[in-house]
Amino acid sequence: MTPPAPAPSSAYDYRMPQRHRLSSLGRWAFLASTIVGIVVLSALLFNIIDQAFGLVAIEARIDPASLAVEGVRLEDLSQDQLTAILQAHVSKGLLRRLENDQPLAERSRVEIYQLVLDRVVEPTIVETWSLTDSLLHRREIEARAAVDRPAAALSFRAWVNPAFVGASQSSNPLLAGIRGAILGSLWIIGLTILLALPIGIGAAVYLEEYAADTWLNRIIQTNINNLAGVPSIIYGILGLAIFVRALEPLTSGSVLGQVPDPTSANGRTILAAGLTLGLLVLPLVIINAQEAIRAVPASLRQAAYGLGSTKWQMVWHHVLPNAIAGILTGTILAVSRAMGETAPLVVVGASTFITSDPTGIFSKFTALPIQIYQWTARPQDEFRNLAAAAILVLLVLLLSLNAAAILLRNRYGRQGRLL
Amino acid sequence: MQTALQSDPAGSVIFAGPPTARSLGLKRRRRWGESLIQGFLFFSGALSILTTLGIVVVLVRESLSFFGSPEVSLGEFLTGTTWQPHIGEFGIWPLAASTLITTGIAMLVAVPLGLSVAIYLSEYATERARSLLKPVLEVLAGVPTVVYGYFALTFMTPLLRSIFGRDVVEIYNMASGGIVMGVLILPLISSISEDALSAVPRSLREASYAVGATRLETAVRVVVPAAISGISAALILGLSRGIGETMIVALAVGAGPAFTFNPFKGAETMTGHIVRISGGDLSYGSIDYDSIFAIGVTLFLLTLTLNIISQAVVRRFRKAYE
């Protein structure tokens, strides 16, 4: 007599349909989280573009059309005519100050034209609108502007434009530009690479090819991993205390007989900033370079030794040429991190307002992210627009750096020889 | 064979073995160039130790001078709930609380989203979907933090204010900064967690399917527990990243220390305070100058501890499946 079967099938597919429904629900939940990431990225980009273009209402102290001489428009006038306009419209005191800064006769036509715009026409922004508002509600904006601001001219403005990239800093948002900031960023990045690349590769070669498994080398490796996780602002504090304060004679250039810029804040120079960022990206460069070196097959090393080469000959002629593409890719990524770093530069002492271009490593500095930070921190809308435009420029620079890294990786691969 | 075979004084021939380095005239000599290069390479590696020493010495020395000044005491610094340098009140808690609240909000956003993304990419996504989604995460991770700060201030804050009301949400508030910081941490958590999930051997998944588990059950009850140490390392790293994050909080969270637990109010974090103080006119040796080092020590110790814990966790996790 057989006992009644305990219906094995029911035990196996117990609540199976519900569980499968739950499972597919889970799938959609996970996918939804991923889509949230995409949505946020889109919102971020949309928000920036929305602010970087749009309608502006501009009021000028003197209508530029009234400054035209014999039908020639203001922007086409000769240098002498522009100088005459400037002399006719600004106060004697201001004129004397301008002459003291640099005699008008020695300035270029473009500079004089900028002065005329800045001091005579004095266009000021009275209101700005975002891109979406400008496109969707243009009629209402025009109607309201006509009532509220009869003197203002309404025009569509791309905040990011060639003049913006080429002009230096100004307190008038219409004339402000980021040339000084871009140049500052490039100088700092140049120094960062100069410091981080050779030392980073050196350290990686040491750790991968030379270092025996001793306690000292283990400490070095652990320490590098830990340094990569130190917040960037701590590097800023380090830079402030060491490069700006303790090594001031070096970083201000006075030890080399450089006459320090009297207006500059002593050690708060491009050199100090570059050294600080160099230390900041060094652990990243080392870790990336180590990975690239580790990917070089051991057979290459053995073959080199087999032919009687010394250790350094093996490294220089075989390991490095095979790893260099990977090393450079990692370095570019580390450098693009440095390019967007803001906090350490603020702490090291970026200048808040600087109209001159950097002339060397002992100049005081500003940088693209610093400029973005300062503009964003101001309450007026038009500075937010400027910040958005500067962000676009920064993102384009970063994208091209990353594209270069990807090209390098695709072209030479992990095993590819670059040299 | 003449070099190998030699006659001994007795006249018999013995076999002297294969040519040695000495018999070929190759003696081991010191190569100065090689030593020099090795010295430089060692120095490059050791520079990282110098950097750490520099950080420690600088932070400790200047904080000692901070705690040595008559207005400050260590006890007050660790327990005080007011940070008002101009009246001599130096209690870290307003700054620390704001750091913890913003980071907490960031983790509330980043942990569920980051883990879901990691599980989706590792357990569900097709190769095509992965190749589309991973670059998006990489871009999110590569956006400079100052840009996130701008995003928090000009997008997230107005959004929160329109949802919860302008009277409830201040212009500078911890919620907005925290949420955007969560977006910043998300790719960090998802990429490390995904690595951990992918490292779980296939056999575990197959065993789970074989006993009739669904895909979700396999992912949540088998794969995630197997990768839990890697995932916790990711979470700890995310936490440490949030505590050290500066520009988002400097722009969006506020510019005045306040001891509050209301996420819709503004309060200054430790990093935000350092940036604001050092961005102004800072004279060396002033109490303000010294105070940023004391805050820096706190920050450094916090993040260092978290990083060391996460590395220890990762080491255990590596051992589990190798």
Question: Residue B37's closest chain A neighbor by CA?
Answer: A312
User: pLDDT tier at A395 (50, 70, 90 boundaries)?
Assistant: very high
Residue A341 pLDDT more than 60? yes
Q: Tell me the per-residue pLDDT of B14-45, one tens digit each, with 9 for 90 and over.
A: 555 666 666 666 666 677 888 899 999 999 99
Residues in B closer than 8 angstroms to A26, CB to CB, are: 215-216, 219-220
Q: Can you tell me the mean pLDDT for A39-47? A: 92
Q: Tell me the per-residue pLDDT of B212-250, one tens digit each, with 9 for 90 and over.
A: 889 999 999 999 999 988 899 899 999 999 999 999 999
Q: Can you tell me the mean pLDDT for B165-184? A: 92
B143–A376 C-beta distance less than 8 A: no
Question: Residue A41's closest chain B neighbor by CA?
Answer: B140
Q: Can you tell me the mean pLDDT for B178-190? A: 94
Nearest CB to A238: which of B48, B58, B133? B58
A27–B146 C-beta distance less than 8 A: no
Give me the pLDDT at residue B120, please.
93
Is residue B299 within 8 angstroms of chain A, CB to CB?
A: yes
Phi and psi at residue B214, to the nearest 5°: -80, 175
Distance (Å) from the C-alpha of residue A357 to the closest C-alpha of chain B?
A: 21
Is residue B64 within 8 angstroms of chain A, CB to CB?
A: no
Residue A1 pLDDT more than 50? no
| The CATH fold of domain A179-412 | MetI-like fold (1.10.3720)
What was the ipTM of the complex prediction?
A: 0.85
A211–B45 C-beta distance less than 8 A: yes
User: pLDDT tier at A416 (50, 70, 90 boundaries)?
Assistant: very low
Q: Can you tell me the mean pLDDT for A256-272? A: 68
Unique residue bearing structure tokens 């020590």: B297
User: pLDDT tier at A419 (50, 70, 90 boundaries)?
Assistant: very low
Is residue A401 within 8 angstroms of chain B, CB to CB?
A: no
Distance (Å) from the C-alpha of residue A27 to the closest C-alpha of chain B?
A: 7
Is residue A39 within 8 angstroms of chain B, CB to CB?
A: no
User: pLDDT tier at B181 (50, 70, 90 boundaries)?
Assistant: very high
Q: What is the pTM of this model?
A: 0.86
Is residue A10 within 8 angstroms of chain B, CB to CB?
A: no
Residue B7 pLDDT more than 60? no
Is residue A222 within 8 angstroms of chain B, CB to CB?
A: yes
A231–B143 C-beta distance less than 8 A: no
Q: What angle, 0 to 180 degrees and rounded to 10, lies between the N-to-C axes of helices A270-294 and B32-68?
A: 130
Give me the pLDDT at residue B135, please.
83
Nearest CB to A343: which of B42, B139, B246? B246
Question: Residue A204's closest chain B neighbor by CA?
Answer: B45
3-state SS string for chain B: CCCCEEECCCCCEEECCCCCCCCCCCCCCCCHHHHHHHHHHHHHHHHHHHHHHHHHHHHHHHHHHHHHCCCCCHHHHHHCCCEEHHHCEECCHHHHHHHHHHHHHHHHHHHHHHHHHHHHHHHHCCHHHHHHHHHHHHHHHHCCHHHHHHHHHHHHHHHHHHHHCCCCCCCCCHHHHHHHHHHHHHHHHHHHHHHHHHCCCHHHHHHHHHCCCCHHHHHHHHHHHHCHHHHHHHHHHHHHHHHHCCHHHHHHCCCCCCCCCCCCCCCCCHHHHHHHHHHCCCCCCCHHHHHHHHHHHHHHHHHHHHHHHHHHHHHHHHHHCC
Q: Could you tell me the domains of chain B?
A: 83-320 (1.10.3720.10)
Question: Residue A395's closest chain B neighbor by CA?
Answer: B143
Distance (Å) from the C-alpha of residue A283 to the closest C-alpha of chain B?
A: 8
Mean pLDDT of all residues in chain A?
84
A241–B58 C-beta distance less than 8 A: yes
Is residue A378 within 8 angstroms of chain B, CB to CB?
A: no
Residue B174 pLDDT more than 60? yes
Q: Which of residues 145-174 of A touch B (CB under 8 A)?
A: none
Pick the residue of B41, B148, B237, B305 with the most A CBs within 10 A to test the interface with A by mutation: B41
Q: Can you tell me the mean pLDDT for A287-301? A: 93
Q: Tell me the per-residue pLDDT of B37-88, one tens digit each, with 9 for 90 and over.
A: 999 999 999 998 999 999 999 999 888 888 888 878 888 888 888 888 777 7
Give me the pLDDT at residue A410, please.
77
Q: Can you tell me the mean pLDDT for A12-28? A: 82
Give me the pLDDT at residue B3, please.
44
Q: Which of A373-382, B167-176, B280-289 has the lowest mean pLDDT?
A: B280-289
Q: Can you tell me the mean pLDDT for A351-375? A: 84
The residue ranges of every structural domain in chain A are 51-159, 179-412
